[in-house]
Structure 1
């Protein structure tokens, strides 16, 4: 059966002084999932294990992201994380610091639910 996307949420995270892409990415993912709730699981009895979670994180240096660690930190579903070039680096010439901004898109998928629901 084909998976159907049931939700997509976006988030942003940053690390202002450590230039830590991993920390910024984790914060972006947390920001995205804070904006959503999926009551479908409680109301239908579906297991969270049936949900596939696909996360895309954008940072200026994707090679510095441990995608497995980010996936392990997700609270529900079978998760994969992909890091791509994106986000922002914002240098501060006065201090030499670089603020790192990461963006994240968190998508959740279930197998097709077509025909499994009836209007009351």
Structure 2
């Protein structure tokens, strides 16, 4: 795979302490900062589901809990590979049970999205 785009994103779950919610937000943040028009206009790739490979690395406090399929669903094109690694942050926030909080922490995730062509 030859990398064409690398972008980073950050996502937080302020209430609910859900690492998957934070990770999905991080991926969506990353992909919202780039446009793949060069794949069609420069490389003349007409079918973005073939020949386009997307590698997602998400750094979260509990990588073993990542819903890989849920992360893949955030990406609209290409063959997607998801890897979860230990990282992210868990920091004190505010405890509001009516917002779904289990405790007073905030989960933060970082995502690296690499778009390549095969």
The TM-score, its normalising length taken from structure 2, stands at: 0.85
Extract structure 1 runs of 4+ deviating beyond 2 A: none
Please tell me whether Structure 1 or Structure 2 has the larger radius of gyration of its CA atoms.
1
Q: How does 1:74-85 map to 2 (within 5 A)?
A: 74-85=75-86
For residue 44 of structure 2, what is the aligned residue in structure 1? Answer: 45
Deviation at 1:109, TM superposition (A): 0.9
The TM-score, its normalising length taken from structure 1, stands at: 0.83
For residue 98 of structure 2, what is the aligned residue in structure 1? Answer: none
Asked if 1:72 corresponds to 2:73, the answer is: yes
Note if contact 1:6-1:108 (Cα within 8 Å) is conserved in structure 2. yes
Unaligned stretches of 5+ residues in structure 2: 96-102
What's the secondary structure of 1:109's corresponding residue? strand
The alignment yields a C-alpha RMSD, in angstroms, of 1.4
Of the three residues 103, 108, 114, the one matched with 1:101 is: 108
Deviation at 1:105, TM superposition (A): 0.1
> Is 78-87 or 40-49 further displaced after alignment?
40-49
Q: How does 1:1-80 map to 2 (within 5 A)?
A: 3-43=1-41, 44-46=43-45, 47-49=47-49, 50-80=51-81
Note if contact 2:27-2:74 (Cα within 8 Å) is conserved in structure 1. no
Unaligned stretches of 5+ residues in structure 1: 112-120
Q: In the comparison of the two structures, how many residue pairs are matched?
A: 108
